[in-house]
Structure 1
Amino acid sequence: MRYRTLHPFVLLVVILTLVCAPIAAATTVTSAPVTTPTQVELSNQAATEAWLDETMADQLEQHHIPGAAVVIVTEGEVVLAKGYGYADIESETPVVADETIFRVGSTSKLVTWTAVMQGVEDGRLNLDTDVNDYLGESPVMIPETYPQSITLEHLGTHTAGFEDSYGGMLVDDPQDLQPLGETLAENRPARVRPPGEFVAYSNYGAALAGHIVAEEYDTSFTGYANEHVLEPLEMQNSTFEQPVPPELSSRVATGYSYQDGAYQPQEFEYFGMAPEGSMSATATDMGHFMLAHLNGGQYESVRILDEATVEEMHRQHFSNVPGVPEQSGMAYGFIEMNRNDERIIGHWGTTAQFMSLLALYPERDVGIFVAYNSPGGAEARFELLDAFSNRYYPDDDAPVVEPPAGAAERTSNFTGDYRTIALSETKWHKLLGLTSTISVEATDEGYLTTQMFGGESRRWVEVRPAVYEEVGGDDYLTFRVDESGRGTHLFFGSIGSRTYERLSWFESLLVTQAILLGGVLAFVMTLVLWLGRSLWRRMQNQSPPERGARVSTALLGTTSLVWMTVSAIFLLTLLNFNDEVASPSLLLLLGQVFTFIGLLATGGSAVATVVVWREAYWGLRRRFAYSLAVVVALLFTWQLYYWQVIPL
């Protein structure tokens, strides 16, 4: 990873931050400091190149990135396409924009949604039709959990209501790759909310849409994408195939992590669901894709979509807060990422080692794409988008500085903890939500402050009720409220694909941390006292306590030992999250078995508490200590169940 030697807990926070972004995407919303630069012309290629050279040099150094590639397009032409740094450090192979191939992660989904819209044009698909109508009686069919059906419209706006799921996303070996339909059937996520209510990013939903395209055209999705999108756009250096075909494989950039001051090469990643993130491409090929979308579906003499279809695809289809212009929403497949009052649509991609971002400014006829071969690109890509927006389309509006009258009274409606809804609700992957929680607090002056777990604090000033502008930044914070004006959901204005739901007090970070950390501390003390008393009795040649007391003590000691073991196993599991998703380890399976042992031991300890008091095994102080330890164990068990570590 891109950091020097870190405390394991800090390392865990960084790793979870990377994988949560769909996963992947970055977990935190980044904003550049507000500046008022003089607008410059993009057509001045020499000035653009000089600015980009300086910007990318700073990014590669600051974020520990070996190499990157950028392409900028406008008015039907490539303004600039350039590589920076190394595609491979050992051989000192430089990045070349039209030769070096990067994994683009979820930016691949834009091809998937383009394919869906081609099906709509052909009349084979309809955005408002129940997706089960396209799936027949196959095992991929979606269960009727809610009265409302899921449609392609819901899939393309990430409003289908699926839990987040990592099952089937990654595999260790290309021989483990299955047909898409089989992977989807084996890893179908639960439906956890009615469709059309909130944006909750779903890799599964995108893969399902790609599967529907493939089924309707009686081909594989990889084959369809190649024939109907990549070949017409002359994207000869791009593919969804895994492994990459031999004629391209020698030009695939090596992905690196940055550890202990050195770059470590990593293995090629295999995605189990091709439509959601398996594409490899050069920057210039992605430039062709951007030009087609900016030119109404046409690249040079070839058309992949009608102009009206492109307009339909690019318009806003859903917003978490309708009627609030500061809040970005969802186009069809494209995510709104507005900056400086400029409408921006695009997508970003995140793998373990590769980061990418594609952004279109439709009203400006401008597009920019960037790819990096290191996790440092997770932050760098949004910093580049901010810097590009500030340079070419600066915001001249004076920022709000002072809270308006009555702001201090209204802040209480929004304080509390909020957590992303793009989480698993049925698997231990839900643990990723620990680092996707935002704490909102109020100041006496009427400002709001937000802090992502492990991140920096940001300050916000009210623009109008339920809408706040960042102090010293260019982002917005908006809330969906209930009838009383109390905030129920939180959204960042610059990213339309993220929804944060307000937590109950018992779900808050404070309660969670108190129970988990307090539990570990109590378990350590219990084990120390258990073993210490036993050793002391032997040293003093004391007779052992009666059998019931020994059993009660053993039950609590076993409970403590098992829950500490489970905690250690799942900590290691999170540190190796991608590997565990691709192929669950024996350690993880053992951890899941231990949870049931822990349940039995905890239940036994709770029953033993009654016996301890009835039989008065020890003095009053020790009985209270025993009872308190059991209460802590019960709360700890509840937390493990809440986070789906105990899979009941």
Structure 2
Amino acid sequence: MMRMAAVILVFSMGITLFTAVPGKVTAQSDQGLEAVLEPVIEKQMRSAEIAGLAVQVMKDQQTVFAKGWGVADRQTGRPVSTESTLFHGGSLSKVFTATAVMQLLEQNKIRLEDPIVRYVKEVKGKVDPGVTIHHLLTHTGGLAHNNVNTAARDERTLMTLSDYLQKGTDLYALKPPGETIIYSSDGMALLGRMVETVTGKSFAEYVQSNILDVLEMKQTSFLQPPPKPIRSRITTRYHGSKPYTDDYLTNMPPAGDILITAADAIKFAATHLNRENPVLQPETLALMHERHVSHHPLMRGRAYGFNEMVIGGQRMLYHDGASPGTIVRLVLAPERKLAFFIAYNSNSPHLMEKLTELILEHYSIGGEGGASSAGDVSPQQAGKYAGAYRPYMFSTDSFQKIYGLMSQLDVKTDGKGNIVLPKGTYTAVGEGLFYNADELKENLVYFKNNEMYLGTNSFRKLSPYETITVQGIILIGYLLITLMQLLGLAFPAIRRQVKHKSLIWLCAGAQLMGVSALVGLLATLVFIDPLEFVYGVPGYFRVWVYLIILGMLLSICLLYGIMKSKPSSWGALYCVLVVIVQVGCGFWLNSWHLFSGTLI
């Protein structure tokens, strides 16, 4: 539903088509790859309103393809260049943070089993003392992924990394450390702060002098705000045809947001593919790339900082990055000595998967792999896995719980012992393990103890009450009952039963505020870009919450008015029903933590 919000918003503004402007192709250009990518890119850029896109590919430590399409800025017409156009790298920052941590490990300044609170004193009491550096590097620290207050619109509201960890996030714990993989930007922010406390330098300064300068990544920067010389080369970020006008400065640079060109990204990739490099020793590099955790031996897992992808029996490392108006991906295929980087200034995720598939197929990486013969699973056995699941990623102790509601994944069976997901049908290959040969990355799904694991993502099975269907019924039921009660006041017979005008006004006020607040909340979640929350909770969202609280207070006043005014039995019953519905709605919304300290 959150993804649909972006689509609805684009259509509400109207679609503006543009023609992609071809970029310069390097002398070393894989013409066969260009022929494969060109028609797909140009078509998708038009249909998805992508302004500009860059692709660079390296094979055997040599760039074999580099090209930019479209424009970095629609107003100026500045074309995309793989050498000079800077993209907001978002979570791609995490692999640089992990690299910095591995450097400290080499220097014996830290140990992987050290608790993070040893180095980041400001989070003592907020983070389980059992959370180690190893846990955070593999996203097994059990911490929630915070989506709110992670960025600033301008330098005036920008937080330091220390301030963000103390004031900007609550560091909610979802699971004990080491139990499961739960993607968390807050965890990587903790590692970045550790780099600061161990080295005595800011995170940006350390990475600049120990990684970027060493690799001659002259365009790339972690500095917030970005240095003036590079600002003119940063892509304008777009939501459909509408540009984002803020600066987008992140409060948590170690988790995102690096500014990087395609050429610099490939320089970094080359270092990770070359065992003899100036950044990490071969033994450290091997340790970093090793699979350290997975949900099942046959499933892809996580290295230190990198995610893992296994396609056609080929193991690859990759990391995505997303910020409002930009998506990037860096992929390393060590066995093939292949690396590629894709970036574009749009929120549309679909083109990224298609381009990844095309590039891998071009270099003969694909086909089946990772699972074999089907197991003997009866329809009854498969049926126990059916139900609604919600990702562990989002906190259940704050209003960000609602992100989980929007991310619900429904699991069904086909009556033949197979599992059906939105991605397709999965066939049993073992106890709780199902396989889909048609899926590129998420070709295995695993069920255990009312939990589901899809790749490196973990989900918990929901009770019927928690599902979006039941929650939707409650919402619709509340709106219908309240509107019927409100319309009832238009009938003289009901007004005569209530008698006192003050009670009538209290009833109408409580009902109007409740309906207005819920409609406002729903409209915000459906029509407003969810990425707005990275700058903090929008003021209009708080208004809806305050209206709900005011409606509840009016309901309490109404209850007092009933006791004082003593209307007729039917009038009292009407008023009591109004109180029950409005106060009940408040308790229901409180289960989504809308009355938490973050919002009021």
The two structures have a TM-score, normalised by structure 1, of 0.81
The alpha-carbon distance between structure 1 residues 432 and 297, as it changes in their structure 2 partners (threshold 3 A), is: farther
Q: Secondary structure at the match of 1:428?
A: coil
> 2:317 and 2:369 mapped to 1: Cα distance?
25
The alpha-carbon distance between structure 1 residues 46 and 273, as it changes in their structure 2 partners (threshold 3 A), is: same
> 2:283 and 2:508 mapped to 1: Cα distance?
69
The alpha-carbon distance between structure 1 residues 214 and 16, as it changes in their structure 2 partners (threshold 3 A), is: farther
Give yes or no for the alignment of 1:210 onto 2:192: yes
> 1:598 and 1:165 mapped to 2: Cα distance?
30
In structure 1, the partner of 2:405 is: 434
Give yes or no for the alignment of 1:344 onto 2:325: no
In structure 2, the partner of 1:91 is: 76
> 1:65 and 1:628 mapped to 2: Cα distance?
52
The alpha-carbon distance between structure 1 residues 229 and 105, as it changes in their structure 2 partners (threshold 3 A), is: same
**Residue type of the alignment partner of 1:289:** F
Give yes or no for the alignment of 1:12 onto 2:5: yes
> 1:220 and 1:285 mapped to 2: Cα distance?
22
Give yes or no for the alignment of 1:307 onto 2:300: no
Q: What's the CA shift for 1:90?
A: 2.3
Farther off after superposition, 441-450 or 289-298: 441-450
Q: What's the CA shift for 1:368?
A: 1.2
Q: What's the CA shift for 1:279?
A: 0.9
> 2:2 and 2:485 mapped to 1: Cα distance?
23
In structure 2, the partner of 1:468 is: 434
Q: What's the CA shift for 1:421?
A: 0.9
Farther off after superposition, 333-342 or 348-357: 333-342
Give yes or no for the alignment of 1:285 onto 2:244: no
Q: Secondary structure at the match of 1:562?
A: helix
Q: What's the CA shift for 1:309?
A: 0.7
Give yes or no for the alignment of 1:73 onto 2:51: no
Give yes or no for the alignment of 1:596 onto 2:546: no
> 2:246 and 2:507 mapped to 1: Cα distance?
44
Contact persistence 1:460–1:468 (CA under 8 A): yes
Give yes or no for the alignment of 1:362 onto 2:328: no
Farther off after superposition, 203-212 or 265-274: 265-274
Farther off after superposition, 169-178 or 582-591: 582-591
Any residues of structure 2 matched to 1:355-434 within 5 Å, and which?
355-376=327-348, 378-397=349-368, 405-434=376-405
* Cα offsets for 1:404-444 (capped at 9, x unmatched): 65431212110111001111333322222222100111222
Q: What's the CA shift for 1:635?
A: 5.1
Contact persistence 2:498–2:504 (CA under 8 A): no
Contact persistence 2:73–2:235 (CA under 8 A): yes
Q: Secondary structure at the match of 2:84?
A: coil
- Residue number among 109, 120, 123 corresponding to 1:124 in the alignment: 109
The alpha-carbon distance between structure 1 residues 396 and 265, as it changes in their structure 2 partners (threshold 3 A), is: closer
The alpha-carbon distance between structure 1 residues 599 and 479, as it changes in their structure 2 partners (threshold 3 A), is: farther
Farther off after superposition, 440-449 or 465-474: 465-474
Any residues of structure 2 matched to 1:129-528 within 5 Å, and which?
129-136=114-121, 139-143=122-126, 149-187=130-168, 188-258=170-240, 262=241, 264=243, 266-296=245-275, 298=277, 303-319=278-294, 321-323=295-297, 325=298, 327-376=299-348, 378-397=349-368, 405-451=376-422, 458-470=424-436, 472-474=438-440, 475-482=442-449, 488-493=450-455, 496=456, 498-528=457-487
In structure 2, the partner of 1:642 is: 591
The two structures have a TM-score, normalised by structure 2, of 0.87
**Residue type of the alignment partner of 1:511:** V
Farther off after superposition, 81-90 or 337-346: 337-346
Contact persistence 1:296–1:307 (CA under 8 A): yes
Q: Secondary structure at the match of 2:177?
A: coil
In structure 1, the partner of 2:19 is: none
**Residue type of the alignment partner of 1:593:** Y
Q: What's the CA shift for 1:387?
A: 2.3
The alpha-carbon distance between structure 1 residues 400 and 173, as it changes in their structure 2 partners (threshold 3 A), is: closer
> 1:207 and 1:441 mapped to 2: Cα distance?
37
Give yes or no for the alignment of 1:567 onto 2:518: yes
| Cα-Cα RMSD | 3.3
**Residue type of the alignment partner of 1:309:** T
Q: What's the CA shift for 1:142?
A: 4.6
Contact persistence 1:512–1:639 (CA under 8 A): no
> 1:14 and 1:50 mapped to 2: Cα distance?
29
Q: What's the CA shift for 1:633?
A: 4.4
Contact persistence 1:467–1:476 (CA under 8 A): no
Q: Secondary structure at the match of 1:274?
A: coil
Contact persistence 2:72–2:80 (CA under 8 A): yes
**Residue type of the alignment partner of 2:411:** V
The alpha-carbon distance between structure 1 residues 348 and 399, as it changes in their structure 2 partners (threshold 3 A), is: closer
> 2:87 and 2:496 mapped to 1: Cα distance?
70
> 2:415 and 2:373 mapped to 1: Cα distance?
13
Contact persistence 1:297–1:310 (CA under 8 A): no
Q: Secondary structure at the match of 1:568?
A: helix
* Cα offsets for 1:180-237 (capped at 9, x unmatched): 1112111232223211112111111111111110111101001011101111111101
Contact persistence 2:549–2:586 (CA under 8 A): no
> 1:263 and 1:274 mapped to 2: Cα distance?
25
> 1:601 and 1:16 mapped to 2: Cα distance?
35
**Residue type of the alignment partner of 1:489:** E
> 1:265 and 1:308 mapped to 2: Cα distance?
43
> 1:225 and 1:206 mapped to 2: Cα distance?
14
> 1:615 and 1:545 mapped to 2: Cα distance?
6
The alpha-carbon distance between structure 1 residues 268 and 403, as it changes in their structure 2 partners (threshold 3 A), is: same
* Cα offsets for 1:60-106 (capped at 9, x unmatched): 23322111111111222222121111112222221111011111111
**Residue type of the alignment partner of 2:160:** P
> 2:424 and 2:94 mapped to 1: Cα distance?
31
Contact persistence 2:514–2:548 (CA under 8 A): yes
Contact persistence 1:480–1:489 (CA under 8 A): yes
> 2:291 and 2:257 mapped to 1: Cα distance?
26
The alpha-carbon distance between structure 1 residues 618 and 466, as it changes in their structure 2 partners (threshold 3 A), is: same
**Residue type of the alignment partner of 1:640:** L
* Cα offsets for 1:33-74 (capped at 9, x unmatched): xxxxxxxxxx99232232233332233233221111111112
> 2:131 and 2:446 mapped to 1: Cα distance?
26
The percentage of aligned residue pairs carrying the same residue is: 26
Contact persistence 1:159–1:197 (CA under 8 A): yes
Structure 1 unmatched runs, 5+: 1-7, 18-42, 452-456, 483-487
In structure 2, the partner of 1:33 is: none
The alpha-carbon distance between structure 1 residues 114 and 634, as it changes in their structure 2 partners (threshold 3 A), is: same
Contact persistence 1:266–1:353 (CA under 8 A): no
> 1:449 and 1:140 mapped to 2: Cα distance?
42
Contact persistence 1:170–1:581 (CA under 8 A): yes
In structure 2, the partner of 1:39 is: none
Give yes or no for the alignment of 1:45 onto 2:30: yes
> 1:133 and 1:11 mapped to 2: Cα distance?
43
> 2:228 and 2:530 mapped to 1: Cα distance?
30
**Residue type of the alignment partner of 1:433:** G
